Amino acid sequence: MDKVVNDLFWTTYKNRIPLYTIVELTYRCNLFCKHCYIPQHYRTKTELPTEKVFQLIEEIYSLGGLYLTFTGGEPFLRKDIFELINYAKQKSFYVTVFTNGTLIDKKIVKKLKSVNVNRIEISIYGNKDVHNRFVRCNVFDKVVESVKLLKKEDINVCLKTVLTKENFKDYEFLKNLAKNLDVVLKTDFVISAKIDNDLSPIKLLLSDKKLKNLVKKEDIDITSECQNFDNFVCSAGMNLVSVSPEGNVYPCVEFPYLLGNIFEDDFTTIWQKNALRFVKKFLNIRKYRKCLSCEIKTYCRRCPALCFVESSDIYGCSYVIKKVAKIFKSLFLKNNVGGTF
Amino acid sequence: MKYKLNPHLAYRKIGEFLYVVDSKTSMLYKFNETAEIVFEGIKKCFDIDKIVKKIVSEYEVEESVARSDVEEIIKEMLEKNIIEVKK
């Protein structure tokens, strides 16, 4: 990690400053992605009014937050998205929007340019057939067109994907597509259960063999993927926080442990009291006894959120993370990939 | 000569330092308090003389020392694309 990035991370971690805030503006979405962690029946839930998001931005600003991500659902389904980005930019936030890229046209790109958005991240899962099947909608061409429109206006855009059993074969295609579009492709292979504890998305997780080949082939640095578990559990509630469309505050977007609701208390109180209580109670390294004595702890990128959604036990063991850790260990012992511990 | 901030920046004062991130390059920079005064001065469209005056009054240093520091910081910020010359 770059020295300044590292310094900013640990300064905000030690001082509990919400450096990274993820705001889910809506659960509504025009697609139906197979791996999505948001249950479909959440789509009808209420959403934060514009003024409430403004107030939230003010409070995060006062607390020292810098990186603000607007996500969904599909955030461009909200008519006030540009007002919200503009408001955050006036407070000098680094504003990122996670989108499926299907609602972006020339007019939207012009507006994004005018509000000076910092980054747009667009999800894509494979070639035309694979992508359209994965998101259950015929939108591949539109997504590619959106990337081109954003690039044309010199807006910072990247593609991101999750590799699953269904799109693994398209990884080379995605890399070439990103290269041709002159954008970065961010890749992940960890799949989360739904936040209502529905484990069905995990079925899409790559097999051990495919995952192992991927890590080997891509020369993924195992050391950067793992954590020094002796002094760090997770940044959720320390310098990371998430707010849902109904105003619920969570330690992280995939961690449905309710810290409070901004319609009942102000965000600052929830962050300073409830989130502090949460980290003192749950992010205490000594309580992770199973992990501390686990033989693969050195290779594990432990995630209390995944443990919680998979088994309702924060101190438990995530099936997904354990599977990845086992593969990292086997590869590391063969000395095939990665750096040194 | 007047300067202006690069429009692609995000920034925050955290602890004693000003952190500035440029979304064009994804680079993150860390500046001390003197550099922060220069950054804030440029943000408010101050000319160099006004920025130097502010530093002299805040730190009780010789004007020549303050000017030299400001010029050095501006050079560094120009090199890092944090600021640009106002046309």
Q: What is the ipTM of this complex?
A: 0.93
Task: Check whether A337 has a pLDDT greater than 50.
Answer: no
Query: Locate tokens 């086992």: which residue?
Result: A326
pLDDT digits (tens, 9 = 90+) for A79-96: 999 999 999 999 999 999
Query: Is residue A68 within 8 Å of residue A91, measured between CB atoms?
Result: no
DSSP A236: B
What pLDDT does residue A108 have? 98
Instruction: Provide the sign of the torsion angle of the four alpha carbons A185, A320, A247, A266, taken in this order.
Output: negative
**Closest CA in chain B for residue A18:** B14
Please list every residue in chain A whose beta carbon sits closer than 8 Å to the beta carbon of residue B13: 64
pLDDT category at A104 given cuts 50, 70, 90 is: very high
pLDDT digits (tens, 9 = 90+) for B3-17: 999 999 999 999 999
What pLDDT does residue A300 have? 86
Given A2, A5, A92, which is nearest B10 (Cβ)? A92
Give the angle A164-A226-A276 at the CA atoms, nearest 5°: 100
Q: For chains A and B, count residue pairs whose Cβ atoms are closer than 8 Å.
A: 48
More confident residue, A254 or A62: A62
pLDDT category at A338 given cuts 50, 70, 90 is: very low
Nearest chain A CA: its distance from B63 CA (Å): 31
Q: Which residue type is seen at A105?
A: D
Q: Give the percent of chain B with pLDDT over 90.
A: 86
For chain A, what is the mean pLDDT? 91
Query: Is residue A107 within 8 Å of residue A150, measured between CB atoms?
Result: no
Beta strands in B1-87 (DSSP E): 3-5, 9-14, 17-22, 27-31, 83-85
Q: How far apart are CA A200 and CA A279, in angstroms?
A: 29
Nearest chain A CA: its distance from B11 CA (Å): 6
For chain B, what is the mean pLDDT? 94
Give the angle A90-A91-A96 at the CA atoms, nearest 5°: 85
More confident residue, A93 or A211: A93
> Does A118 sit within 8 Å of B28, measured CB to CB?
no
Closest CA to A18 of A271, A248, A266, A310: A271
Task: Check whether A340 has a pLDDT greater than 50.
Answer: no
> Does A64 sit within 8 Å of B12, measured CB to CB?
yes
Closest CA to B74 of B61, B58, B55: B55
DSSP lists the bridge partners of residue A306 as none
Q: How far apart are CA B56 and CA A335, in angstroms?
A: 58
Given B9, B14, B24, which is nearest A11 (Cβ)? B14
pLDDT category at A285 given cuts 50, 70, 90 is: confident
**Closest CA in chain A for residue B43:** A92
First to last CA, chain B: 9
**Closest CA in chain A for residue B17:** A8
Q: Please check whether residue A20 touches B, CB under 8 A.
A: no
pLDDT digits (tens, 9 = 90+) for A134-162: 999 999 999 999 999 999 999 999 999 99
Please list every residue in chain B whose beta carbon sits closer than 8 Å to the beta carbon of residue A15: 14-15
Task: Tally Cβ neighbours within 10 Å of residue A165.
Answer: 13
Nearest chain A CA: its distance from B31 CA (Å): 10
What pLDDT does residue A216 have? 77
Mean pLDDT, rounded, for A250-273:
96
Q: Please check whether residue A94 touches B, CB under 8 A.
A: yes
CA A155 to chain CA centroid, nearest Å: 21
Given A5, A11, A118, which is nearest B23 (Cβ)? A118
Q: Give the percent of chain A with pLDDT over 90.
A: 68
